[in-house]
Structures are given as structure tokens and as C-alpha cells.
Amino acid sequence: MTESTASPGVDMDTLVSLAKRRGFVFPSSEIYGGFASTWDYGPLGVELKRNVKDAWWKSMVRDRRDIVGLDAAILMAPKVWETSGHLTNFHDPLVDCRECKSRFRADHLEGETCPNCGARGSMTEARQFNLMFKTFVGPVEEDAATAYLRPETAQGIFVNFENVLTTTRRRLPFGIAQQGKSFRNEITPGNFIFRTREFEQMEMEFFVQPETSDEWYRRWIDIREQWYIDLGIHPEHLRRDEHPAEKLSHYSAGTTDIQYRFPWGWDELEGIANRTDFDLTVHSEASGRKLSYFDSETNEHVVPHVVEPAAGVDRSVLAFLVDAYHVEPDEKGDERVILKLHPRLAPVKVAVLPLSRKEPVANLAGEVWDLLRPHWATQYDDTQSIGRRYRRQDEVGTPLCVTVDFESLEDNAATIRDRDTQEQIRVAIPELPAAIREKLGF
Ligand code: ATP
């Protein structure tokens, strides 16, 4: 496939409408008028999202010698959130406009003007608003039964540190990776799937010898930035934002955000934090369990320091979609919309397109589809003209189309068409899987 070029950009309305029209992302509960800032992933969206998560899991867990996986529960003992500091510290500053009653995050406002009604100096004093969703466990709605939906997956890793260490007998440095839903009662969700109240995270806690934490922090920034580039994001659309000391979270000795150039401006994709020994130390003290590592070389117990790359699945999906969006001329010089998604991320890898809906072409195309289906995510499309079908596949990022025509009945071959170059090659049907594998790279 060709390298992705710098996208000229796409506005959010165009992208949101493509996402809905082609079955990537639907507004949630739409038949009831929707539900504020919640979204459902459709047939193509769920494939794309799964591919993003699989690419992360492959690079973070399967390809590495030093990281193992975990899948902890969303509901955890409330003591976890008391100890981690989330009950007292996980706040955003909330302000109201006295004129129009809109609510905003104070740290997201620029100047004194209300972004909704334009009133000046109408904002109330900021008050702290805890972002954790509360629920009740069991049939009685009382304080003693209060539980929280996790606002990050990381704590599930810290409280399982001992379990993982004893069952895997790891040596430092090693990491524990996890993907899953998190929930934050965001004051101002928005920008499509960028900021929602229910979202998915991909987090990894990397436990290291204390004196090596800064080195690992820098190294993980590089590794994580490269992951986006390897999957097709143009390097010029990424930048790093290192937090100044006064902006750091209570647990952090250093945080760098990887930002993406979204249509509304630069915004966070992922944060890499040097969390020091904060989490293991506080959970040790509160639980009475010794969350440390015995170093057999020095005969000492060490509380490892932790470097955390924390990424958002939905934000990554959005960045991959925005970056992939291109408008280019087609074979006839008309405009075509192409999602130049990396083949690993593309929801459909190969589309099988018969030139005729009738036997015997349709029959042979069905056999070609059977041949390819076990290997990759495929689609079969026999409606409308071949040109329109190519456009439809380009628009959802399908890297390859296989066309079965009347000649195929004679030469038992089909045409593979490349999404980006529009090049066509003729390949014997039995050779299709090998030829496609070579083109896709897997
Ligand atoms: P922000 O400053 O944008 O609120 P954050 O710094 O609080 O984000 P982290 O706590 O570092 O975010 O979470 C790690 C990652 O989880 C973020 O980089 C982002 O990709 C994702 N994430 C966090 N909050 C949301 C949300 N409300 N919706 C979607 N993704 C989110």
C-alpha cells in the first residue's frame, strides 16, 4: 500500500455524517431522540475499534517479552477509590453561566465570555465536581452500598500487582496491560467520540527499578508515539505536550501528552505518566499487604516505580478516521472519498465484487468469497455499477477489491484493485489468498 500523505483535513460534520451513513458510529438510543454524547459503534465501527485494540494488544503484550495482560472488573471495592485519591481529588472545576445557565469546565474556558450566550463576566465561582459515577450494589440504596464505576482501568492493575507477580514470577522491569470501559461524569462531553462519559481505555503499568523510571518514561513516550505513526498517522499531525510541574496530578513526577491535530485543534490522544511509587505505596498502607518486589540480587524489597502509557480507544479511532480521510480523483477524474486506513485497521480487508448478479459469474464470485472469508474480514457487494461499488469501498477504507467478470469463467482469474493507487492486477483464483496476503502484509 502507499504511504499516507498529510491529510488536507476533514470537518467534523462531514466525518460524523460519513460515520453514521456507512455504519461506523450511530448516535445512541436514536429512536428515542438520542442520549447526550453517547454513541454506538455500528458494523464497520466495531471492526475498526476491535482492530485498534488488537493492534495495541499485539504491540504491548504479544510482541513483547516483558508485558502480560489483565482484565479486571469495572466495579471495585470503594476503598480502592478512597486510597487512590479519586474520591477526594478526581474533580473538575465547574462553573455556571448566570445568564443562560450553561455549565462549563473552568479550565476549558478562555477569557470571561460565555461560549454559549456571549455574556461577559457571568460565570459563577468554580466549585469542585467529582467525576465518578456512583451506583448501589445490592437491593438497598444506602451509603454503605455505594460503589463507583471505575474512572480509569489502572487501579485494577495496581490492586492485582501481587497476584500477577506471584503467578507469573516476573522480574523488574515488567508491565501489566489492560483494555476496558471507564466512566467519567464529564461536565462538557463533546466533539463526537472524543470526550464521552462512557469510553474505553488501553492502559499499561510498567513497573521499574526506581532509579530507572525517568529513562523508561522517556522511552515509553517514544514507543507510544511511534505506534500511531506505524499505523498510518502522519507524523506532522502528532506532537508532545510535557506538563509543567504545577499542572501535574497528585501522583505524577512527569506527564507528557501525545496530542493529535484534530479538526478543532490540538488535543490529547494519550498521556504517559511517571506515577512514581505512589499507587503501590498507598495501596500497601491501606490494605496492609506488602506490595513490593524482592530483588534477589541485592536481597532487598523494592517498591517499584510505575510508568503508565494511558490511551483512549475512542480517541484513537477518531484520530485514525480523521487522518485517513482524503478526497482524490478517481479513474475518470471525478472526486472520490477514500479512507486511507492502514490495512491492519481497515474494517473490511477485501471486497468481492461480481460484474454480474447472474449465474455463472455470481456462482464463481461466491466461490471466490468462500475462499477468502476464512482469512480476512470480507464483504460481498453485487449492487449497482462497478464504479459505484469501488467508491463505496474506498469510502470505508477497504484496501483491496477482487472483481470477478465474464473472462474469469474462461481464465479462472480475477482482478485485484488497490484502493490507493487504483492499480489492477490479474491473478489466478487459486493464487488469490497468497497475492492478497502479500499486498496486505498479513
Ligand atoms: P482530558 O484532559 O482530555 O480530560 P485526561 O488527561 O483526564 O483527559 P487521562 O486520565 O490521562 O485523561 O486518561 C487517559 C486517556 O483516556 C486519555 O488520553 C484519553 O485518550 C482517554 N480518555 C480520558 N477521558 C476520556 C473521555 N471522557 N472520553 C474519551 N476518552 C477519554
HSE-up of residue 115 (Cα within 13 Å, Cβ side): 10
Residues 198 and 317 in one domain: yes
Instruction: Render pLDDT for 333-375 as a digit per residue (tens, 0 to 9).
Output: 889 999 999 999 999 999 999 999 999 999 999 999 999 999 9
Pocket test for ligand 1, best of 152, 199, 268 (most atoms within 8 A of CB): 268
In a shared domain, residues 177 and 243:
yes
Rounded to two decimals, what is the model's pTM? 0.94
Q: Is there a single domain that holds both residue 178 and residue 286?
A: yes
Cβ of residue 268 lying under 6 Å from some atom of ligand 1: yes
Residue 281 belongs to a domain:
yes
Please name the residue that has the C-alpha cell 476496558.
180
Give pLDDT < 50 ranges for the chain: 1-4
* 173 & 309 share domain: yes
Please name the residue whose Cα sits nearest to atom 24 of ligand 1. Answer: 195
Q: Is residue 374 situated within a structural domain?
A: yes
At residue 232, φ and ψ (nearest 5 deg) are 105, -5
Domain boundary among 321, 340, 369: 321
Rounded to 10 degrees, what is the CA torsion of 223, 224, 230, 232?
Answer: -160
Say how many Å lie between the CA of residue 74 and the centre of ligand 1: 17
Domain that holds residue 65: 12-75+150-321
Q: Which pLDDT does position 8 carry in this prediction?
A: 55
In a domain, residue 289? The reply is: yes
Total domains present in the chain: 2
* Distance between Cα 21 and ligand 1 center (Å): 27
Q: Does ligand 1 lie within 6 Å of residue 311's CB atom? A: yes
CA pair distance 71, 50, nearest whole angstrom: 16
What CATH code is carried by the domain that includes residue 45? 3.30.930.10
State whether 396 and 355 are in the same domain.
yes
Please report the atom of ligand 1 found closest to the CA of residue 184: 27
The order of strands in the sheet holding 400-404 is 378-380, 350-354, 400-404, 413-418, 424-428
Q: Are residues 308 and 430 in the same domain?
A: no
pLDDT at residue 7, rounded to an integer? 55
The CATH number covering residue 357 comes to 3.40.50.800
Measured by CA distance, the residue closest to atom 16 of ligand 1 is 312
In short, whether 270's Cβ falls inside 6 Å of ligand 1 is yes
